Amino acid sequence: MAMTLITTNTPSGAATSDFTSGIDSTYKLYIFKWFDMNPVTDGANLVFQGNVAGQSGFNETMTSTSWRVLHMEAGSPEGPEYTDYDQAQGTSYNNLTGNCGNDNDQCSVGTLHLFNPSNTTYVKHWYCRAQTVISSDGAYSFYTAGYFNVTGAIDEISFKMSAGNIDEGTIKMYGVG
């Protein structure tokens, strides 16, 4: 299957990085890849949320789960461990990373898969795999998955930091088909 680049966002000092066009029935799989996402606020999490076509606000009901593995620069590994970054029928932005440092040698990279967002019969499944260099000089690997508990078509996705703005980074949206 071929990946087709649809849009590239390069937020710099921005509150959000929103994809408000290009998510439609053309593809059954959309992949978002982010590179070198750095928060203004030390220890912030990269989070995301969706929006159903014709609705306003990024506040769709979702259920998710997350776990992580940590390895500190000093050599001490921890995990795997369950995180509290999940939701049970919540409408908040969902964590994809945690505790990202804002130093020049700290950032987050990752991939979010969104399945069949234009389907109006079933819920919208997603999963994410991310790496983050944390504010206390270690590396987290995050594994997060869930679903939007809506049958309406999701046609917008928003990314932001849990605190403060996005200092810099790149997010690319691909269609796979």
User: What SS3 string covers 12-69?
Assistant: CCECEEEECCCCCCCCCEEEEEEEEEEECCCCECEEEEEEECCCCCCCCCEEEEEEEE
Q: Which of 112-121, 134-143, 152-161 has the lowest mean pLDDT?
A: 134-143
Neighbour order of strands in the sheet with 166-176 = 3-9, 166-176, 29-39, 108-115, 124-133, 138-148, 62-72, 77-82
Q: What distance in Å separates the CA atoms of residue 17 and residue 83, rounded to the nearest whole number?
A: 25
Residue 76, pLDDT score: 80
Q: Could you identify the residue written with the tokens 């919208």?
A: 124
Exposure on the CB side of residue 58, measured as CA atoms within 13 A: 18
Give me the mean pLDDT over the 39-64 stretch. Answer: 97
Closest CA to 146 of 120, 116, 122, 124: 124
Give me the mean pLDDT over the 134-154 stretch. Answer: 95
Q: Could you identify the residue written with the tokens 């990202």?
A: 100
pLDDT tens figures, 75-117: 887 779 999 999 999 999 999 999 999 999 999 999 999 999 9
pLDDT tens figures, 20-29: 999 999 999 9
Instruction: Indicate the domain borders of the chain.
Output: 3-176
Pairing label, strands 29-39, 108-115: antiparallel
* CATH number given to 3-176: 2.60.120
